[in-house]
Amino acid sequence: MNLYTREDLNAMSVHTLRVVLRTDFKGVPGVMNKAELIDKILSIQSGEKPPVRSTKGRKPLGEFLTPADIELHLSDFEGVDGDVPQSVKGVLELHAEGYGFIRLGGLDITPSDVYVSKALVKKFSLKSGDEVEGDCAQMRDSGVVTLKSVKSVNGGANFEQKRVDFSTFTPNYPNKKILLYNGENPALGLIDLFSPLGEGQRCLVLDQTGRRKTEFLKDLISSLVKSGKKVCLTSVCSKPEDVTAYKQSGVSVVEISSDCQPQKIVRKAILSVEVLKRQLEIGNSSVLILTDVNSVISAYEDCALTDKIDQGFLSDGLTARSVAKKILNCAGCYGERGSLTVIGVLKSDLKDREYSDLFDVATSVITLADNPRKRRGYSVDPVNSFTDGDENLLTAKEIEKADSYRTKLAENPDFMDEILAEITR
């Protein structure tokens, strides 16, 4: 730091003196005149402790963020000029206190995340899951990189108009069938007949062993992509090779690795749903696939046992089971607004009463079974697969056929050969 004489300071303009006091001596210029600025600089230079900068009635940022958060966000932006805005774009995650962060690393927390003030959130009615683009700069008082202006929200420039709110949408039973069988795996044809999926379905895929879901999900994703659906997959605790295969299939993937802290598993799963809700508010329908509902539930239970539930980002008073229901219940057919289809994989079966509350909210259940004709792979158990409101997706003749086939399969499991032969004809 330079040492100044009174002569040096007298030669400076008022503006330069204010900058010197603020940057070199961490002082607060306020409304000081030139003589007062010179006296203050010389007194601090001589050893006087600089005053604490006033927060003007607002809480210091440090009361909202933990020291680790502040250090995290400063570490990647040292040397950023607070007067030169930097352009940023990412997904917003709100805290219970009303402020938030733009996540620049997908949905992960990274050193590059940008703080969004409560004032800006309120001004533009911003919500968790919004894709926000704007300019940021480093705050002089705290050093935290903060959003200064908003250019667009969810890709639109008319974000200052009154926004549509997902909570006002009324769900209906799906009435537009998603045809899965495309001539490749006849097991998907079993779903089309016995537990058809519609746009806006709330579906649980039951895999008691946990061994069948990977091949099933690959086939399901392939079929959905070929039919033109926008698919977003939240991959929870999957093998890295499976995640690679999911990404190569052309879908958006939110990866939650098995070594994630339980709290991160829960918040990323919930935030991925919030993103799709915001997209639906602007008319974009999509399909969400959650690869492991059990892991999300157990992660929240682990948080509760160790008292590590974030009371800011996860502050809804949720129980472990209601976290899963919160995700499933976002699904629905919302008429002209579009639809959000949610498909969650659960390691269970219909006899498992532990998850009966999840079965109650699901509008479709697909039970996977071993493929008796292959050592690997999967099939579908028609007897234990169903869709509520299937009369909106199937003709009366198809419903009659499905009921008849279920009866025959219960009496003779080998009747499956005839059903598969009919599907492939």
* Domains 61-163 and 177-424 in one fold: no
Which CATH homologous superfamily contains domain 177-424? Answer: P-loop containing nucleotide triphosphate hydrolases (3.40.50.300)
Q: Residue 24's CB: how many other CB atoms inside 10 A?
A: 14
- The pLDDT value recorded for residue 312 is 47
Q: Which residue would you say has higher pLDDT here, 17 or 314?
A: 17
Is residue 345 within 8 Å of 292, Cβ to Cβ?
Answer: yes
Give the residue from 189, 282, 288, 294 showing the smallest Cα distance to 236: 294
Q: Which residue would you say has higher pLDDT here, 95 or 67?
A: 95
- The reply to whether CATH 2.40.50.140 applies to domain 61-163 is yes
Torsion of CA 22, 24, 25, 27, to 10 degrees: 0
Q: Would you give the DSSP letter of residue 391?
A: G
Overall average pLDDT of the 21-25 stretch = 77
- The pLDDT value recorded for residue 127 is 93
> Rounded to whole angstroms, what are the CA distances from 348 to 95, 322, 352?
34, 17, 6
Q: Where are the beta strands (DSSP E) in 308-421?
A: 332-333, 339-346, 364-369, 379-380, 386-387
Q: How far apart are alpha carbons 343 and 288 in whole angstroms?
A: 6
Overall average pLDDT of the 141-170 stretch = 81
pLDDT of 37 > 50? The answer is yes
- The pLDDT value recorded for residue 172 is 92
- The pLDDT value recorded for residue 64 is 40
Count CA within 13 A, CB hemisphere, residue 226: 12
pLDDT of 241 > 70? The answer is yes
Six-digit token string for 301: 């239970």
- Kindly report the pTM of this predicted structure: 0.77
Six-digit token string for 412: 């003779």
What are the extents of the domains in the chain? 6-45, 61-163, 177-424
398-401: long-range pairs with CB below 8 Å, 24+: 398/193, 401/193
Q: Would you give the DSSP letter of residue 57?
A: T
pLDDT of 117 > 50? The answer is yes
Q: Is 92 helix (H, G, I), strand (E, B) or coil?
A: strand
